Structure 1
Amino acid sequence: MDDFLIIGGGIAGVSAAARLSHLGRVTLLEAEDHLAHHASGRSAALFEPNYGLPPVVALSLASDDHHRRANGGVLSPRGLMIVATQLLRDAFEHEAAVMNLARISPAEARAMVPILRADALEHAAYAEHAWDLDTDKLIQDFQREAKANGAKVLTGARVTAIRRTSAGWEADTATCTHSARIIVNAAGAWVDEVARMAGVAPLGFTPYRRSMARIPAPGGHDIRAWPMIFGAGETWYAKPDAGALIVSPAEEHLMDPHDAWADDMVLAEGLARYEEMVTEPVTRLLASWAGLRTFAPDRVLVIGHDPVEPAFFWLAGQGGYGFQTAPAASRLAADLIGGGAPELDATTVAALSPARFG
């Protein structure tokens, strides 16, 4: 029997496997044929620690040192800009204040991103405190740590049934039955389904689709130094990526858990909003995809023992913050499971606990 059985091989599950491997025997089960297949493999890969509600920001800030220093770090400079027309001034002012961005002139914004339209851009704000995050390296670093401590990481291992036993849990896959004292539910969009399988009350998680398009560098520009750009009200965003530009309509469309794909009409509408602010039209796509961002009812992560079934541990509801919060979220999970004193303050720990849902 293992000590910990982790269900889900995205960044939440893999980082938890690394932390818990120091405390006991770990098996991680991922339904797909490789890790980070769903939301974790479709991330915008940005570390912006001021983004999100206060408990999310606390996790992001507590993850900063790990992102910068562990295993050589995973961050590289990017920067963040918000742009707006006059009609979106209120949304612009709010978001610039929340994310601590400094107002710059439209001319300064166009000097940084020359395709911004002079006749449309009325408001701009910028800050350097946003970084590209090497998501693949972070996954691999945590996986390497887990395996070095004897953890088993199994892919193509979809859980089909879960049973409570006198000693803990049993979970069936197509080829094997796994047993453990504690289940860690890190199943992304499927966390409520895993809970139901285990006879644990679901908490009401909601998956939302977000689509992405990859387009050639606009106008042949060298875009490597461009910041990530948000349209005010998060009506679209764009981010340089390996010589091309990723553009998202930033939609939140309610979905059932599934292997998501981009909706052509939603992409077209989002690209049209992007085109309203730039001089270069989108003439072709290099690729498109979508992922599910799964939120708890209050849009804050859920990290803690189930209040009714304490051998069932929730590590869920990462939404769009999974990678940037993973070091601190997994550390908190290990502290709570191992009985250690959390590094985070008590107010934040309570705000993250599943007990907040009564």
Structure 2
Amino acid sequence: MTRFDIVIVGGGIAGASLGAELAGKASVLMLEKEDVAGYHATGRSVAFWEETYGGPKVQPLTTASGPMLLSPDPDFSERSFMSPRRTLHVGRARDRAARDRLLTEFAGKVGLEPVDPRTIVPGLRADWTLGVLESAVMDIDVAALHQAWLRRFRQWGGELRLGSTLHAGRRQADGWRLETSDGSLDCGVIVNAAGAWADEVARVCGMKPLGITPLLRTVLQLRVPALPSADLPLVMDLAARFYFKPEGEGRVWLTPHDEAPSPPCDAVPDELAVAQAIARFQEAVDWPIEAVERKWAGLRSFAPDRAPVYGFDPDMPGFFWFAGQGGFGIQTSPAAALLGRALMMGGAMPKAIASVDPSPYSPKRFR
């Protein structure tokens, strides 16, 4: 019987980042049910680093992650994972309360500047008069970041098994007996980093789920020849009805900010959401659309209070939650992985996350 100190279920950004921090300190196996790690949410992200994204509970993790993404250790990556973008939060007169709430919630924490959005985005329609510029926002090279985490995991002795599904877990006196599609194995700790499947992993381990819900997000790529510049900021609606960002010359990535509850699955774009996205885009700017070049969807998984869940389950020894990362798992991955390692292994919090309070992320809040 094969035994590991830790088994991580899920090879997306959550499992890969935490695994990279744990490997070398324990024997770690990562189980990924797909043939490619990061196939679902990680591989379908419109990734950016934005301190306001996810709200005040997520902001400390995002802020702490920024320096590690911008200037990673040379042994982790020889180049930065980020490039300048900026975000322009836009709204109409009816969105004034949302504008004021954004400025109030992040006052003193995030650099935000009220602006006239029409001076920044040519073609923005006349009624979009409210704007807040978030200048520190960056694009993230998701593929490079995810591969760097997996590379570090392997370099430190971690083992990744692709196409390996967890069927059942049973608590034993000294840990867990896991039944997988590759056979049985034992471990001391099981980490639930399964994203949209997090509650299902809890169920097959005989536990009560936390209510982590997958929400479908539709994205499409438009060909927009009149796009004034590929360097324009990400444009985010204060009313959370859309956001879009240039993706090279003459192309835009657009989402209607949809959040339709979905079972865990290989997500496909919702055609009504595609139509809504285009309609909302045309409400905001006067750029003609030449074509919808492609469309896709991913599942963003949220706990009931929309904050991530990090820590040991209070009712089940040796079961560690690392889930509920919504759409912010990539931008928070360095800080979250350090936090997860500290919570699991004990000891002082690493200096990079010394200002992060872990209590809002504990699974104890749901038990």
TM-score of the superposed pair, with normalisation by structure 1: 0.94
Aligned partner of 2:312 in structure 1 is 305
Aligned partner of 2:357 in structure 1 is 348
Aligned partner of 1:46 in structure 2 is 48
Instruction: Give the residue type in structure 2 aligned to 1:350.
Output: S
Instruction: Give the residue type in structure 2 aligned to 1:44.
Output: V
**For 1:132-187, what per-residue CA distance to the aligned partner results, in whole angstroms no more than 9, with x for missing partners?**
01111111111111100111111111212222233322222223323211100000
In 2, the alpha carbon distance for the partners of 1:69 and 1:143 equals 18
Could you say what secondary structure the match of 1:307 adopts?
coil
Q: Which moved more, 1:160-169 or 1:94-103?
A: 94-103
Could you say what secondary structure the match of 2:57 adopts?
helix
Q: Using the TM superposition, give the Cα deviation of residue 84 of structure 1 relative to its aligned residue in structure 2, in angstroms.
A: 1.7
Alignment partner of 1:116 is 2:124: yes
Could you say what secondary structure the match of 2:177 adopts?
strand
Q: Using the TM superposition, give the Cα deviation of residue 345 of structure 1 relative to its aligned residue in structure 2, in angstroms.
A: 5.7
Task: Pick closer, same or farther for the CA change 1:347–1:229 going to 2, 3 Å.
Answer: closer
**For 1:117-142, what per-residue CA distance to the aligned partner results, in whole angstroms no more than 9, with x for missing partners?**
2x332222212110001111111111
In 1, the alpha carbon distance for the partners of 2:17 and 2:134 equals 29
In 1, the alpha carbon distance for the partners of 2:157 and 2:115 equals 51
Alignment partner of 1:328 is 2:335: yes
**For 1:270-312, what per-residue CA distance to the aligned partner results, in whole angstroms no more than 9, with x for missing partners?**
2201111111233421110111111111111100001011200
**For 1:78-127, what per-residue CA distance to the aligned partner results, in whole angstroms no more than 9, with x for missing partners?**
00001222232322333354454212224422xxx22322x332222212
Q: What do you get for the CA RMSD once the two structures are aligned?
A: 1.8
Aligned partner of 1:202 in structure 2 is 209
Aligned partner of 2:243 in structure 1 is 237
Q: Using the TM superposition, give the Cα deviation of residue 325 of structure 1 relative to its aligned residue in structure 2, in angstroms.
A: 0.9
Aligned partner of 1:314 in structure 2 is 321
Task: Pick one of 72, 80, 83 that aligns with 2:87.
Answer: 80
TM-score of the superposed pair, with normalisation by structure 2: 0.91
Tell me if structure 1 keeps the 8 A contact 2:85–2:138: yes
Instruction: Give the residue type in structure 2 aligned to 1:141.
Output: A
Could you say what secondary structure the match of 1:200 adopts?
coil
Alignment of 1:138-149 (within 5 A): 138-149=145-156
Identity %: 37
Task: Pick closer, same or farther for the CA change 1:174–1:255 going to 2, 3 Å.
Answer: same
Tell me if structure 2 keeps the 8 A contact 1:120–1:276: no
Tell me if structure 2 keeps the 8 A contact 1:8–1:188: yes
Aligned partner of 1:105 in structure 2 is 116
**For 1:24-76, what per-residue CA distance to the aligned partner results, in whole angstroms no more than 9, with x for missing partners?**
11110111110111111111111012333333111112212211111232111
Tell me if structure 1 keeps the 8 A contact 2:226–2:287: no
Task: Pick closer, same or farther for the CA change 1:286–1:162 going to 2, 3 Å.
Answer: same
Aligned partner of 2:27 in structure 1 is 25
Q: Using the TM superposition, give the Cα deviation of residue 219 of structure 1 relative to its aligned residue in structure 2, in angstroms.
A: 2.8
Task: Pick one of 151, 154, 166 that aligns with 2:158.
Answer: 151
Task: Pick closer, same or farther for the CA change 1:20–1:234 going to 2, 3 Å.
Answer: same
**For 1:302-336, what per-residue CA distance to the aligned partner results, in whole angstroms no more than 9, with x for missing partners?**
00001011200000100011001111111111111
In 1, the alpha carbon distance for the partners of 2:161 and 2:228 equals 41
**For 1:173-224, what per-residue CA distance to the aligned partner results, in whole angstroms no more than 9, with x for missing partners?**
22332321110000001111101111122111111111101111x2343632
Q: Which moved more, 1:42-51 or 1:288-297?
A: 42-51
Q: Which moved more, 1:23-32 or 1:167-176?
A: 167-176
Q: Which runs of 5+ in 1 are unaligned?
A: none
Task: Pick closer, same or farther for the CA change 1:60–1:27 going to 2, 3 Å.
Answer: same
Instruction: Give the residue type in structure 2 aligned to 1:269.
Output: Q
Tell me if structure 1 keeps the 8 A contact 2:61–2:356: no
In 2, the alpha carbon distance for the partners of 1:124 and 1:147 equals 45
Could you say what secondary structure the match of 1:182 adopts?
strand
Instruction: Give the residue type in structure 2 aligned to 1:181.
Output: G
Could you say what secondary structure the match of 2:245 adopts?
strand
Tell me if structure 1 keeps the 8 A contact 2:118–2:124: no
In 1, the alpha carbon distance for the partners of 2:80 and 2:355 equals 28
Aligned partner of 1:221 in structure 2 is 227
Tell me if structure 2 keeps the 8 A contact 1:116–1:279: yes
**For 1:246-272, what per-residue CA distance to the aligned partner results, in whole angstroms no more than 9, with x for missing partners?**
000001111111111111111101220
Which structure's residues are more often helix, by fraction?
A: 1
Q: Which moved more, 1:341-350 or 1:177-186?
A: 341-350
Q: Which runs of 5+ in 2 are unaligned?
A: none
In 2, the alpha carbon distance for the partners of 1:220 and 1:150 equals 50
